[in-house]
Chain A
Amino acid sequence: MTDKKKKVIQKKLPREVYNALKNVVGEQWIYEQRSVVETYSKLSIEGGSFIKKHDKDPHVLPACVVLPSSTKETQAIVKICNRYQVPFIPFTNGQVFCNPTNEQPTLIIHFSRMNSIIRIDTQNMCATLEPYVDYGQLQAEAMKRGLWNGGTPLATTICKLASQFAFAGLWQTDLKYGLFSRNIVSVKMVLPDGEILTTGSRSISRAGDFWEYGPGPDLLGLQRSGLGTNGIVTEITVKLHAWVGDETFPDIPAGRPSLFDVHDAKYDNPPAPLKNHKLFWIEFENFETQIKAMREIAHSGIAIGLNAPGVYSAFYCSQTQAMTVERCEKKFFPDWNCYVILAGTTSEKQISYEEKVLRQIIDEVGGTFLSETHKPEVLEALKPWNYDCIRHSTGYRMNRKFYANAWLPVGPLDSAFICQREWQKALDMFGECDITDRGGADDTPFVYALQRGHFCLFETDNYPDPVLPDDIRKAQGYGLYGAFTIPKNDMGPMLMAFTNVEPFTSMTPEAGPNCKILMRKLRKVFDPNSVAAPGRQVFTEDEWQQFPTEIKEALNKMRSLNDMPPVEY
């Protein structure tokens, strides 16, 4: 049992390293106070870091936080890290895999000072951003110019685009625009050894930002979804698309809340879908019909977004935790449903034409539109999506316990059935973490139709109680089980990064042996001192050898539960 009184003491950087870093950024922008490093040490959605907090593991604490203001300063910091062999972790919001878990003193490089939109090129429809610029900022500036970035993240508008480069960037409107990773023109990166890499046409003097491939090999492709392993993005140029809505969003008709009535649902109900956009909700009798309809809609070429949130609407659209629970228990939102976002980007008649096609598909396949005559109370409750499908702000709403160890496989639409079936098995095996999420076991897992339905993402989640370590361990069990179940069932890899994170990269060779081999070799070249984002996407040989044998054994046990042969180590 953990000693409640035990203090967790951070490691410090050697003074010569600290002083070298201080000389780069100035005393004001380097911190190693205990309370400061605490705020850079815990995550939101990774169960492991919570367990470590409960266990009072000091390795979750960084040694120091440094805030550069430019690519040049970032480069200088990285060079110092190489010189003194200090591991570093780039950090923006710190919501995902940013937890230092090293025995060595680790440096956090926080990019909150690099928060400018460097330029918006309306002629060539692209924007160049510093790493701390978020979707909300970019959308606001782009909309004024009749442009937008083409997507709102699965999470929220305050996601930093440069961070999403580390993943793949799942959007509400992936059906039309594809993942964020397909909407990048170029990046400027500080590589793990301190070299600066510029990709795409921008690397040619005065050529400008228009072409992401080459010159020579597609370096952007190599770096995309690298989870920080291959360096730090200090500038990113993203594609922009035509925007047909207003310059700003309309106000909420009910006015604004105060701290004392913020949970009143009326303040969560934005006006009807935006100018030149329409949002349709459709309920289905069963999962098979839903998936069939989604396939038909995706392949028809209409709509900019097509997603099925299932029970997640209860989280997104409920104003309190209590309301979330009640709506889940009473199955307030239909089990089988999807929403379709239409946009009139080409002509005034586009939406009416697409609506006709949509209604014909639903007529043929089966399904009922939510309307004033069919479940109007549900349609009313779904109103936050009127904005959120375009500008996601309540997304990632945490009106639930914390969120950990999700299954996020990709695959063709039919994979939804496998995901659902396997999740049910996991529920039977581990028991539920939380009554609020059946995670698709008997309703819709969250399904995102991507790139005209060529593939989809299916999400099922756990919501353990963060205060209870055993509950978190159960959620970790789900995560581990899923990591092996998904490749076993020949589904696409977990996570949006399309490769895994360690130790799964090494322990699930079924999910991409080529990737693992290539990444390890790349890392050897780019990161000769093994200092960048240690243990993140792919271990170095040394890290792999040092990774605890007992964990490897446990993971092999989980493999055997899935009738998979053990991985040799």
Chain B
Amino acid sequence: MTYYEKKPEKKFFEKTLDDYRDSVWGCARCNWCQNQWGWNVKSAEFSEICPAFHEYRIFPYSGMGKMHMARALLEGDFSYEDAPEMVQFLYTCTTCGACEMNCQRIQDKEPLQVNETLRAKFVSDGIGPMPEHKRLIKSVKNYDNPWMQPRAQRDRWARKIGIKDISKEKADTLYFVGCTSSFDNTLWKVAQNTAKIMMHGGADLGILGKNENCCGSPLARIGDRETFVQIAKKNIELLNTCGAKEIVTFCPGCYRALMHDYKEIPGVPPLEAKVYHSAEYIDSMIQEGKIKIPGELKKRVTWHDPCHLGRHCGIYEPPRNILKAIPGIELVEMERIKDQSWCCGGGGGARTAFMEFAQKTAHKRISEAQKTGAQAIVTSCPFCEQNIGDALNKSDDGMEIYDLTDMLIRVLDL
């Protein structure tokens, strides 16, 4: 089949490598997958965009390299046994999507989708993922979360904030908290702040409590499609029967899964409730006057766009609007922002399997943030917060990291 012959529409999670044959043969080696879009380059230092290529400097780590490896594998030029190192190249990718953003603009091709499809092939053929990911998959299967935490602990973060359990009490808005901030007690505050702010704005909010499951995003990203589809089906049924009209989540991984990935599974019903990220939900509340901001917070901050929130889902302005709405906050931008943002290094399973690389990538983001003169990095993603936070803890950078709601809660006096 050639480019211009009409392809049967397939959903992403049913595509195989063969569906990308035209794409992988047609890679023009333009190298935009490794670089900031030309209009965006503001300095030589921050002109690259692919964290893995930036660190390792060889093509297999780039989007282009994945296209070429996929082509060779697809055509039988080599097999897994000839190239065991490929697993590492595939899984060092943070799935930040920068390669795909630029490739789509210049060549209409999909290097990230190719990489995720390669990962899926590796998993189904028993070659992937990395051993660290296997533990994560096992945990999701056994505990409904990737962090090997007992289900009974999932709602501990919510004990003191008086939020409804939607399985017991009806609520219009479901707060889908996500596994990381449900189980990582250093992130409980974020989960709590988000809930408190939305309730303060008048949301009729409920949670699934112990019944909430992993959204499946980590599995989709590392290529375990079979388990992901099982989880997604279970979640769609649960979410469609819980009675909520809208779903809000603050985890960009969950948001992408609910917003886009579930739609890419063949033969499943759509989610009936409308899905929001908490930043856009809270921003609307502020715009509509449901949340008034009485206090002031003097701080010079910079916004780090989480890849799965910004580049993947297009939520760029709402978090910036919230920061700008807080009196005293001075928002200064880094060079690489929005669709050209630099990844924190924590996504796509890279932090799980390649901690050192993930931390180096975070340090590069911190260094970029420091150039703005900001006192703090603000973001809205548990993975970004963990990864950048860990890097900050190990350095003397003197910079802090906050969740967006950390900033807002301080001026709301809740």
Contacts and interface: CB of A to CB of B under 8 A. Distances in A.
Interface stretch (A133-141, A237-245, A359-367, A520-528): A133-141
B82 A141 contact: no
A391 interface: yes
Interface in B34-90: 34-44, 47, 53, 57-60, 64-65, 68-69, 71-72, 75-79, 82-83, 85-86, 89
B395 interface: no
Contact of B30 (A29, A56, A95, A116): A95
B38 A157 contact: yes
A35 B60 CA distance: 7
Interface string A226-265: 0000000000000000000000110010011111111100
A396 B44 contact: no
Contacts, number: 211
A260 B260 contact: yes
Contacts of B340: 256
Determine the interface band of chain B, counting residues with CB < 8 A from chain A. 35 or more
B101 A257 contact: yes
Contact of A45 (B21, B28, B37, B42): B28
Contacts of B212: none
Per CB-CB distance, the 8 closest pairs between chain A and chain B, nearest first, are A393-B38, A258-B314, A137-B44, A39-B59, A35-B83, A44-B28, A256-B338, A44-B29
B184 to A, nearest CB: 27
Contacts of A112: 53, 57-58
Interface string A63-90: 0010100000000000000000000000
Contacts of A399: 106-108
B330 to A, nearest CB: 19
A258 B44 contact: no
B26 interface: yes
A549 interface: no
A466 B26 contact: yes
Contact of B316 (A255, A259, A268): A255
Nearest to B314: A258
Interface string A105-131: 000001011001100000000000000
Interface string A502-522: 000000000000000000000
Contact of A321 (B4, B58, B317): B4
B353 to A, nearest CB: 18
Contacts of A392: 38
A468 B39 contact: no
A325 interface: yes
11 contacts: A44-B27, A93-B30, A95-B30, A113-B57, A134-B35, A136-B35, A140-B42, A141-B44, A257-B339, A259-B311, A393-B106
A397 B109 CA distance: 11
Interface in B330-355: 338-340
Nearest to B27: A44
B370 interface: no
B22 interface: yes
B366 to A, nearest CB: 21
Contact of A8 (B77, B101, B108, B316): B77
B31 interface: yes
A398 interface: yes
B339 to A, nearest CB: 4
Q: At the interface, is chain A mostly helix, strand, loop or mixed?
A: loop
Contacts of B112: 259
Contacts of A44: 27-30
Contacts of A388: 38
A403 B68 contact: no
Interface of B: 2-4, 21-22, 25-32, 34-44, 47, 53, 57-60, 64-65, 68-69, 71-72, 75-79, 82-83, 85-86, 89, 97, 100-101, 104-108, 112, 260, 310-314, 316-317, 338-340
A330 interface: no
A36 B85 contact: yes
- Which of B38, B77, B100, B310 is most buried by chain A, counting CB atoms within 10 A of its CB? B38
Interface residues of A, number: 81
Given A34-B82, A258-B311, 4 more contacts: A67-B58, A93-B31, A248-B42, A260-B313
Given A35-B69, A39-B68, A387 B38 contact: yes
B105 A268 contact: yes
A140 B44 contact: yes
A136 B4 contact: no
Contacts of B26: 398, 401-402, 466-467
A393 B310 CA distance: 22
Given A42-B71, A156-B30, A257-B314, A249 B39 contact: yes
Interface string A489-511: 00000000000000000000000
A334 interface: no
Nearest to A155: B30
B57 A139 contact: no
B317 A67 contact: no
Contacts of B101: 257, 259, 262
A349 interface: no
B76 A262 contact: no
A220 to B, nearest CB: 24
Contacts of B37: 393
B22 A467 contact: yes
A4 B75 contact: yes
Given A4-B75, A93-B31, A95-B29, A35 B89 contact: yes
A116 B72 CA distance: 33
Given A4-B75, A396-B106, A33 B83 contact: yes
A38 interface: yes
Interface string A24-62: 000001010111101111111100001001001000000
